[in-house]
Amino acid sequence: MITILARRELRSLFAAPATWWMLALLQFILGWFFL
C-alpha cells in the first residue's frame, strides 16, 4: 500500500516540468563544481 502511494507521488512529482529544471540545474552546478 505504501509503495503504491509513494509511486503515485513520485509520478506526479516528476510530471511537473519544474522538477526536471531543478534536477538539470543541480547536475549543472555539481558538474561545474567538480571540473
Segments making up each domain of the chain, as ranges: 2-33
Residue pair 4/10 in contact by the 8 Å Cβ criterion: no
What would the grid cell of residue 23 be? 534536477
Output the pLDDT for position 6: 86
Q: What pTM, to 2 d.p., does this model score?
A: 0.55
Residue pair 3/9 in contact by the 8 Å Cβ criterion: no
Q: How far is CA 31 from the centre of its chain?
A: 16
1-14 pLDDT per residue, tens: 889 988 888 888 87
Element (H, E) at 34: none
